[in-house]
Structure 1
């Protein structure tokens, strides 16, 4: 079975667990996913089947949209509600009126919660390209070891800053001490760390309490399927393989050019390929449909990294 579909991962399981569920239901050995979701999160997890697994690398850079809830009152070591309450760093400059304890938070009457407009204005300031320091409980590798493994052992490590892009962020609900945002961002953005930074800028401690991913590239939550639907409908709900790379421009190849591709030969730039740009990648279609991914060099098109999917 070849194809791709968006799975609606429930909270409480890993992305690896979700792949296992889909494998058992569809009885497909070759299966994978893109865009890992934290266990506490739920939402869109693109699943790739059969030959479509060869296309996962072309989807890693998809923008993603999340809806996340944050609760003012405490910071945690994991930056979400699964962690333990911790004291803030000295440079967080918290407002007067907040006292953080290890198991509770007291907020006295001298604290004035931010208004809707104040919170919205602050969120707007996060739009654009910026540097983000991920959570120490992230899956980023430091010297070949996941950051969360160091954190669980109490070993301090310095996580490098990452360049992220926030293309849109909006306040969708607010009733102190809770607020909910919708964010569209580049791959590699940590939403719990974004909420941490928002709270630091406000001078009020806070932590993420829920997270939903509502879109990954061309996949959205409205078209995602739960395990029960997958059991009921099976491969009928699976999109064609090329759906995963619909963001790439299209080129058509004839039977002679297709034979050259199979033989590993490069395709000279002819009039039909004149619109292509060096270093760019393209989804190619032969007489019988989608055949794979091509990459433009200076003077030719070639099969990218020996990936080939017969149409």
Structure 2
């Protein structure tokens, strides 16, 4: 998960680099910034993340995020606005009830941290995951755990998503039935489950290391979020990967656009002291 952690740290920098942080004259900004980052990552630990999943931004403690938060949450994508940003950051943190292995983040360790000025910091955080007790959140003794994003999907699901047959089966048995169940009425994306399977089977599966693009991996991730604000997220799992003018997520974009700090943050040097 190292790359996820590094880019999530960049997201945090943008999110807290406003009214949340004190002026550059503060002499304790290093300690304050470390405390802020640790507090934010602690909210990804189960069951701390549950209130945010259920209630959105209103459940985020005050003083952690700028209301104009925006950032890049790799491997999912770029996001603007407080509600949009915190939703992707926290609501994708797993809960044991939502995956076959009963896995969740049970510990968040800031293992590297530096802050050269009040408005900029960088960190490496290990999000330790594994099967946990759904009531207490404590890791189940003897269970497999990991801090590697490459191992996450197999530990959480017990599924080898590199197998093409399994990839195709996931569309028919999980993704499309889930879309039809959650995206109804004005939020409906496909007329029938069969139509969904036929259309999405033509798209590449993708990988969970790069969960953006016009692929199945992206839609699998975004399906999780359709339970909250379906009017926003159902278009992401549909045939077009979103809707206009600026609600596209599961679409193919150029790396230069995805990594364009000036476009996202308004400056190419936003993280320089």
Regarding TM over 0.5, the answer is no
Larger radius of gyration: 1
Which has a greater percent of strand?
A: 1
> Quick check: which one's helix share is greater?
2
> Bigger relative contact order, structure 1 or 2, given CA contacts below 8 A and separation 6+?
1
Q: Under a length normalisation based on structure 1, what TM-score does the superposition of the two structures give?
A: 0.26
